[in-house]
Amino acid sequence: MFDSTNKSPISSVVPHALQRSGNCRRRLVFCYSGPLPKKPHMQEPYTPAAPLRIPPTVWVLGLVSMLMDISSEMIHSLLPIFMVTVLGASATMVGVIEGVAEATALIAKVFSGVLSDHVGKRKWLAVTGYAMGAATKPLFALAPAIGWIFTARFLDRIGKGIRGAPRDALIADVTPAAIRGAAFGLRQSLDTVGAFTGPLVAMGLMLLWSNDFRAVFWVAVIPGALAVALLVFGIREPARAAPAEARPLARPFPLSRAALARMPRAYWWIVAVGALLTLARFSEAFLVLRAQQGGIGLAYLPLALVLMNAVYALAAYPLGALADRLPHATLLALGVVPLIAADALLAHSAQPLWVAAGLVCWGLHLAATQGLLAAMIADCAPADLRGTAYGVFNLGSGLTMLAASLIAGLLWDFAGAAATFQAGMCFAMLSLLLLLVRRR
């Protein structure tokens, strides 16, 4: 039984005792602690890997964005008409205020992103930005002149700029690379749910309170405060280890030349495309003004942004998930086509059907490109410089947003609304051409 030539696990076991007594059975007592051999029919069953799930932090950040967008869009969907009809502003003044405000938000992301990378903390920078945005809401309700609106928009957009880059970097930090497109798409979808819920609430309150702009602005304070509370108590920032190539003692300040030199060429191409697309896509205030030209009543004007953002919200997540399966450059090029169509439709006529079709195309463009650009940056930027990467990207977009809104306002006043959208269409076509050349 114990053949020395047999090297199986059983034969290699040394018997501790072998006793035989009368009719008693032969008994073996082994001194063996190794694993028992497996029989062929006892192989472990195959269990497929569980699908990756979007982290809870992304859901909470999406809900925070939704609440703040409800607050902001209750005001912004009415603000262009409030400035023109109540405070007597021109289209050029609207363009200057909106351009400066949006450019400020985008440029401020540079410093918040750099600071979040340098300090290694994302959450409390985001909290600061959201709190600043919530604190400015009462200024819109109190504004007796256009200067108050300019100040409120400026401070509100600084808050947006502070929170944007660390929020996106936090999403990239907690999300596996394989589902980042879906994660950014989900946050963008929830953000956009707020962006069309806010105008709907504003429209209902305008009808209820006989076009009382200021009363609606006061109500907008509530969801802004809820957003800040949810962010403070609902998010726990994950610990981040410094990468080998950037340990704390040798790590340069993120906005230094050495740090920026670590950004790959693909990142700078994304920055260039994003800036050109921003030049083609001026402030949404001009969409509301175009809808007003079609004869829509004041209380119903927020429906313009409701329609655009409804399309945006419905399409953002599936297109974000599609970005995890298709080449990014291809999907980005396809996403520019609806913007060209939107500008063509809005330039053609201010009649409600034409405006509605243009708004649908505008929403499809935003859904296809905004989350995608964020995911592309996350994929190509070094992990410890993601906040800086988002910040520099938004610096380029901010500078072009200021130029785009100023050009749009001047064209609106001196050449007509159609010329504004025709210029946007030309810039969008240049963006598409750049993408096609890049693919070759």
Is 108 a domain residue? yes
Average pLDDT for 393-400: 82
Measured distance CA(69)–CA(200) in Å, rounded = 12
DSSP-assigned letter for residue 349 = -
Measured distance CA(163)–CA(108) in Å, rounded = 9
Tokens 């100023």, located at residue = 406
Is 227 a domain residue? yes
Is 284 a domain residue? yes
Collect all residues with Cβ–Cβ distance below 8 Å to 38 and sequence separation of at least 6.
Answer: none
Q: Which domain holds residue 147?
A: 56-239+260-312+323-380+405-439
Is 431 a domain residue? yes
Whether the per-residue pLDDT at 51 is higher than 60: the answer is no
Alpha carbon separation from 233 to 54, 57, 224 (Å, rounded): 20, 12, 15
Q: Which two tokens stand for residue 431?
A: 């963006």
pTM to 2 decimal places = 0.68
pLDDT band at 360 (very low <50, low <70, confident <90, very high): very high
Is 392 a domain residue? no
- Span 341-355, pLDDT tens digits: 999 999 999 999 999
Question: Residue ranges of the alpha helices (H) in 120-219?
Answer: 123-142, 146-174, 180-208, 213-219
C-alpha closest to that of 287 among 68, 89, 94: 94
Helix, strand, coil percent content, the chain, rounded in steps of 5: 75, 0, 25
- What pLDDT does residue 337 have? 95
Provide the number of structural domains found in the chain. Answer: 1
Question: Residue ranges of the alpha helices (H) in 323-416?
Answer: 328-348, 352-380, 386-414
> Mean pLDDT score of the chain, rounded to an integer?
80
Residue 10 or 402, more confident: 402
**Rounded percentage of the chain residues whose pLDDT exceeds 90:** 31
Which of 163-177, 253-267, 322-336, 397-411 shows the lowest mean pLDDT across its residues?
253-267
Whether the per-residue pLDDT at 115 is higher than 80: the answer is no
**Rounded percentage of the chain residues whose pLDDT exceeds 70:** 81
Decide: 217 and 74 in contact? Cβ < 8 Å: yes
Is 235 a domain residue? yes
DSSP per-residue codes, 60-75: HHHHHHHHHHHHHHHH
Is 376 a domain residue? yes
Average pLDDT for 163-169: 80
Measured distance CA(392)–CA(257) in Å, rounded = 13
pLDDT band at 118 (very low <50, low <70, confident <90, very high): low
Measured distance CA(157)–CA(155) in Å, rounded = 5
DSSP-assigned letter for residue 46 = P
Measured distance CA(122)–CA(115) in Å, rounded = 9
Is 119 a domain residue? yes
DSSP-assigned letter for residue 284 = T
- What pLDDT does residue 15 have? 45
Measured distance CA(228)–CA(234) in Å, rounded = 10
- Span 266-313, pLDDT tens digits: 889 888 888 888 888 888 889 999 999 988 888 888 889 889 888 887
Element (H, E) at 17: strand 15-19
Q: What is the CATH number of the domain that holds 426?
A: 1.20.1250.20
Question: Phi then psi for 173, rounded to 5 degrees?
Answer: -65, -40
